[in-house]
Amino acid sequence: MPISRYIAIAAARQGRRCTVTTSIRLAIGVYLLLVGMLVGMTIERMRYDVQRSEVLVRYEQALHEWQAYRMALEKDEAAPKAAVSWSARAN
């Protein structure tokens, strides 16, 4: 076999090896990119949940205060009416 044939075979093997190596590197790069995006989304979601829970705590507190205020108003309104109705029954 002539030497040029050996060189051609070696070049073909090298080319195939390069193609396989390139595809493996590309696959690893895509995998790392996807894992990085997933980790980023997870971290952002956790940060959002913390902020959301702080807002919900403030909202619940304001809602509770508003309901307590309304209940106090209703109790204040109901007290004189109850006194009038008891005095009317006594007579």
Cα-based distances in Å from 72 to 42, 64, 77, 81: 45, 12, 9, 15
- As a three-state string, the secondary structure of 19-71 is HHHHHHHHHHHHHHHHHHHHHHHHHHHHHHHHHHHHHHHHHHHHHHHHHHHHH
For residues 89 and 44, give the distance between their C-alpha atoms in angstroms, rounded to a whole number: 66
Cα-based distances in Å from 86 to 26, 74, 76: 87, 18, 16
For residues 49 and 45, give the distance between their C-alpha atoms in angstroms, rounded to a whole number: 6
For each of the chain's 91 residues, which pLDDT tens digit applies? 566 666 666 666 665 566 778 889 999 999 999 999 999 999 999 988 888 889 999 999 999 999 999 999 888 887 666 555 655 565 5
- pTM for this one? 0.46
**Tokens representing residue 87 in the block:** 């005095």
